[in-house]
Structure 1
Amino acid sequence: MAQVQQGLKAFFVAVFLLAGLPAGAAPQEVRFASLDGTPLTAWVFQPVGRAPTGTVIALHGCGGLYAASGARKGQLNARHQAMADLLMAEGYAAVFPDSLTPRGESSLCTQKIGTRRIDQGERRADTLAALTWAAAQPWAQAQRMALLGWSHGGSAVLAATDAARADVRAQPLQPVVAIAFYPGCSAALKSGYRMSAPLVLMLGEKDDWTPPAPCVALGNASGAEVNVYPDSYHDFDNPTGQVRVRTDVPNGTHPGQGVHVGPNPVAREQAYARLRELLRKAFQ
């Protein structure tokens, strides 16, 4: 873990210096405890030269924060970096907590649901702790906090905004908006999910990993905003790659047959345009 953190620090400082930006623009490594006591690390991005007008807690999916291969191996993956850049350009701070590395995991994607050592209990504890930590920082405004998550992190958004849970209701701080990209919604639907904050779902029409139907039903039951993007699979907002089949994923609508993942640039732009609108309204 220490090697990953040192490598990230050096990488970010080098990138910002080469771009002619001050080294202070590189993300800050911070540490705080999850509500379950786990010591967590997070990466904090802030806009250069101005105070952030809002803060987004960004929650990684089952593959964690970091790229597992390629030129970005060991660095924030392309989607997370692109989102950090987008949020900073909009004038917001972004906090990316790492729920996997501190617990000895690098990825959950190839583990069957039900056998994972890290589930939504841990993700909820981490998310609520990140909200509390960020709201206490001198550069943040507690009334301008948002949640954003992808896949397993999207499910964490649901877990952390479920007013049916006593630990969520007990939190004095609630986000002003919660945005979940292609979460798994079946568990929340069955458990009687109730929103503690305005919820927006961004779904792929053809997603065969976390299918949209349970999320559409959850939206109808809870009053959440639901956006379903045509001709789109899981990970449709990834800025790199192409649609492919991951045969190493044992879950999905056809267990054992793999799942489709990959970008749809049109859907990505539409979803990110809506995300910008939501955050601007929430942080005004």
Structure 2
Amino acid sequence: MDDLKRRWARLEPHLTVVGPDDDRPRPAVLLFHGCGGLREHLPRYAEAAKAAGWRAFTIDSYGPRGWGRAFTLTAVCTGLAFRGYERAGDVLAAIQGISARPDVDATRLALAGWSHGGWSIMEMMSADPAPNTLGVADPGAADLSGVRAVWLAYPYIGPFAFNRMKPWRHCPRVLAVTCKRDHLTTVRNAELVNAMIRDCGAEVESWVAPGTHAFDEPTNNGPMRHDPDLTEESLRRFRAFLTDVAPHV
């Protein structure tokens, strides 16, 4: 089993970095894709972060593992493999690795997850970081104190998310995006999860977007439908959220 340092060594070559063209320490947002892997909408969020003066780091969880889209759609998206509590080690390793960069202000970090990525973030936040859990040998070695905010875009909170109602151990500011026509959860279920996070002491803003799951991804697959106008609103809210978290950059 990887420790955090080895896990980061595997992830880092597949990292995509977008940000202002300088080398001074800036706040950083870490982007975690959904179960379908890297898709066309994440670079738009990275650019929105850049426009707010942040550095954006998109973490590819599949490239280091040699997984293609066909495999992940049939194995990960169905819950057969690589559930959120296993991928949480990638989140911890990215926090540790990116915090060490000289061009990052490690006291001003944000995590952003879409669907499976949001699930992984939530598992990381709620789990007891005992050795050999969350997919890594030393999950407790990551320092979460610099994580100031979390963007949860229609996170998976279905039957396999066993810990969705478990209190978080670190409670930063949260913006939770729920889709009114999400086939994977009801708005009521999402509101219960958001209320639990609030009870931990976190400030939680909830936006119920009038669209389907993955409305911001430019594809139409099954019950999911792309909504360009809603995507623009999501991008606007993402940039405003980051600007509000770290206004002086």
TM-score range, shorter chain: 0.7 to 0.9
Find out whether 1:185 has 2:185 as its counterpart. Answer: no
| Residue of structure 1 in register with 2:213 after alignment | 234
Q: What SS class does the counterpart of residue 184 from structure 1 fall into?
A: coil
**What are the equivalent positions in structure 2 for 1:218-233 lying under 5 Å apart?**
218-223=193-198, 224-230=204-210, 232-233=211-212
Task: Give the conservation status (yes or no) of the 8 Å contact 1:189–1:218.
Answer: no
Tell me how far 1:35 sits from its aligned partner: 2.5
Tell me how far 1:156 sits from its aligned partner: 1.5
TM-score, normalised with respect to structure 2: 0.78
- The one-letter code matched in structure 1 to 2:95 is L
Q: Separation in 1 of the partners of 2:36 and 2:234?
A: 21
Tell me how far 1:271 sits from its aligned partner: 2.6
Tell me how far 1:134 sits from its aligned partner: 0.9
| Residue of structure 2 in register with 1:201 after alignment | 176
Residues 180 and 42 (structure 1), Cα distance of their counterparts in 2 relative to 1, 3 Å cut: same
- The one-letter code matched in structure 1 to 2:100 is A
| Residue of structure 2 in register with 1:129 after alignment | 93
Residues 169 and 120 (structure 1), Cα distance of their counterparts in 2 relative to 1, 3 Å cut: same
- The one-letter code matched in structure 2 to 1:35 is L
| Residue of structure 1 in register with 2:201 after alignment | none
Residues 190 and 88 (structure 1), Cα distance of their counterparts in 2 relative to 1, 3 Å cut: closer
| Residue of structure 2 in register with 1:109 after alignment | 73
- The one-letter code matched in structure 2 to 1:172 is D
Find out whether 1:100 has 2:62 as its counterpart. Answer: yes
Tell me how far 1:97 sits from its aligned partner: 1.4
Find out whether 1:171 has 2:171 as its counterpart. Answer: no
The partner residue of 2:19 within 43, 46, 50 is 46
Find out whether 1:83 has 2:45 as its counterpart. Answer: yes
Backbone CA RMSD of aligned residues: 2.5
Tell me how far 1:170 sits from its aligned partner: 5.7
Q: Separation in 1 of the partners of 2:244 and 2:3?
A: 29
| Residue of structure 2 in register with 1:159 after alignment | 123
Q: Separation in 2 of the partners of 1:48 and 1:154?
A: 29
- Gaps of at least 5 residues in structure 2 are 131-138, 199-203
| Residue of structure 2 in register with 1:144 after alignment | 108
| Residue of structure 2 in register with 1:13 after alignment | none
Task: Give the conservation status (yes or no) of the 8 Å contact 2:48–2:235.
Answer: no
- The one-letter code matched in structure 1 to 2:205 is E
Tell me how far 1:228 sits from its aligned partner: 0.8
| Residue of structure 2 in register with 1:58 after alignment | 31
CA shift digits 1:211-242 (9 cap, x unpaired): 44322210122213321112x0011123x34x
TM-score, normalised with respect to structure 1: 0.69
| Residue of structure 1 in register with 2:4 after alignment | 35
Residues 233 and 114 (structure 1), Cα distance of their counterparts in 2 relative to 1, 3 Å cut: closer
Which stretch of structure 1 is more off in the superposition, 102-111 or 200-209? 102-111
Q: What SS class does the counterpart of residue 261 from structure 1 fall into?
A: coil
Task: Give the conservation status (yes or no) of the 8 Å contact 1:142–1:173.
Answer: no
Q: Separation in 2 of the partners of 1:280 and 1:36?
A: 31
- The one-letter code matched in structure 1 to 2:215 is F
Tell me how far 1:36 sits from its aligned partner: 8.4
CA shift digits 1:84-132 (9 cap, x unpaired): 222222221111111112223223232364421x222332111111111
| Residue of structure 2 in register with 1:275 after alignment | 238
Relative contact order higher in (CA < 8 Å, ≥ 6 apart): 2
Tell me how far 1:265 sits from its aligned partner: 3.0
- The one-letter code matched in structure 2 to 1:146 is A
Q: Separation in 1 of the partners of 2:5 and 2:100?
A: 19
Q: Separation in 2 of the partners of 1:101 and 1:245?
A: 23
Task: Give the conservation status (yes or no) of the 8 Å contact 1:63–1:106.
Answer: no
Q: Provide runs of 4+ in structure 1 moved above 6 Å.
A: none
Q: What SS class does the counterpart of residue 26 from structure 2 fall into?
A: coil
Residues 48 and 268 (structure 1), Cα distance of their counterparts in 2 relative to 1, 3 Å cut: same
| Residue of structure 1 in register with 2:190 after alignment | 215
Q: Separation in 2 of the partners of 1:216 and 1:36?
A: 36
